[in-house]
């Protein structure tokens, strides 16, 4: 049943995934369900809701990410990675991309390390530390920063800034009606590059992906 639901979602998203991709996504979901019963990794339970809300929601961002991340091996930081969303599904589908999963809670990073080994994901690293501390260790190292349900938009942007390369981008996964959060963002410091609606197949959930770039102020004096 789950394979059919997953295939339906992938087909509607227009993504061409291999049988190996699908099998790995299924295995990730199974491991999340198994660990969640003991460690409470996520509040959403049940195979049907998990597939739709977790997997499909996470890979629904891929068309937009592919549009902006055109380099050969972009580096992406997932802040507050939790149970590995959206980073693990992205890493499965895009093995040439390099992802750093930053999470402060040890039981969650233990799960992320377990999945990394189980799925042989050589393109991810798991960092068990606070986002603010990780930024000190890896300043200006990333082409992109992404997050799903981590914190408010304004705070997420503040936390993301130290990680970004000069031309780096922030991808914020939000509910469709995120206008109130945008009001708290200083447009003197950030530029909205794109606001893309995300369609989650067969699920009445409205989502959008905000793409923002920091406004780099010139240090030149007249």
The H-assigned helical ranges of the chain are 2-13, 19-39, 47-50, 57-59, 62-68, 87-93, 106-118, 131-137, 153-160, 179-183
Nearest to 24 by CA among 45, 47, 48, 55: 55
Any domain includes 73: yes
Which of 39-43, 180-184, 198-202, 217-221 is the least confident region?
217-221
* Statement: residue 1 has pLDDT above 50: no
Any domain includes 222: no
Query: For the chain, how many structural domains are there in total?
Result: 1
Range of the domain at 155: 2-214
pTM: 0.90
Strand pairing of 206-214 and 164-175? antiparallel
Any domain includes 82: yes
Q: Max CA-CA distance within the chain?
A: 66
* Statement: residue 109 has pLDDT above 90: yes
Token look-up 């998990």 returns 50
Q: Specify the pLDDT at position 52.
A: 65
Query: Whole-number mean pLDDT of the chain?
Result: 87
Any domain includes 221: no
Preceding peptide of 118 cis, ω within 30°: no
Any domain includes 13: yes
CATH at residue 128: 3.40.50.150
Q: Across residues 107-119, what is the average pLDDT?
A: 96
- Give the model's confidence band at 45: pLDDT under 50 very low, under 70 low, under 90 confident, else very high: low
Predicted confidence (pLDDT) per residue in 137-189, tens digit: 999 999 999 998 788 999 999 999 999 999 999 999 987 667 788 889 998 99
The answer to whether residues 184 and 208 touch, using CB atoms and an 8 Å cutoff, is no
Any domain includes 220: no
Any domain includes 71: yes
Any domain includes 150: yes
- Give the model's confidence band at 49: pLDDT under 50 very low, under 70 low, under 90 confident, else very high: low
Measuring CA to CA, how many Å separate 142 from each of 40, 145, 162, 172, 191? 30, 7, 9, 15, 18
Higher pLDDT pick, 13 / 167: 167
Which of 49-53, 182-186, 205-209 is the least confident region?
49-53
């Amino acid at each position: 049943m789950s394979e059919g639901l997953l295939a339906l979602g992938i087909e509607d998203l227009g993504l061409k995934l291999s049988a190996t991709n699908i099998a790995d996504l299924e295995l990730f979901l199974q491991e999340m369900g198994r660990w969640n019963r003991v460690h409470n990794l996520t509040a959403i339970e049940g195979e049907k809701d998990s597939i739709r809300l977790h997997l499909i929601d996470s890979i629904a961002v891929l068309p937009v990410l592919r549009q902006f991340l055109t380099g050969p091996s972009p580096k992406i930081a997932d802040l507050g990675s939790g149970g590995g969303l959206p980073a693990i599904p992205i890493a499965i589908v895009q093995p040439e991309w390099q992802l750093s999963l930053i999470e402060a809670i040890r039981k969650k990073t233990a799960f992320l390390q377990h999945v990394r080994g189980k799925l042989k994901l050589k393109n991810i690293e798991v960092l068990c530390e606070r986002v603010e501390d990780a930024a000190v260790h890896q300043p200006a190292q990333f082409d992109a920063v992404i997050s799903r349900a981590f914190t408010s938009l304004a705070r997420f942007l503040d936390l993301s800034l130290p990680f970004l390369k000069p031309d780096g981008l922030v991808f914020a996964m939000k509910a469709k009606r995120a206008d109130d959060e945008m009001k708290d963002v200083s447009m003197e410091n950030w530029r909205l590059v794109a606001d893309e609606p995300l369609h989650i197949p067969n699920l009445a959930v409205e989502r959008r992906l905000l793409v923002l770039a920091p406004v780099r102020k010139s240090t030149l004096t007249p």
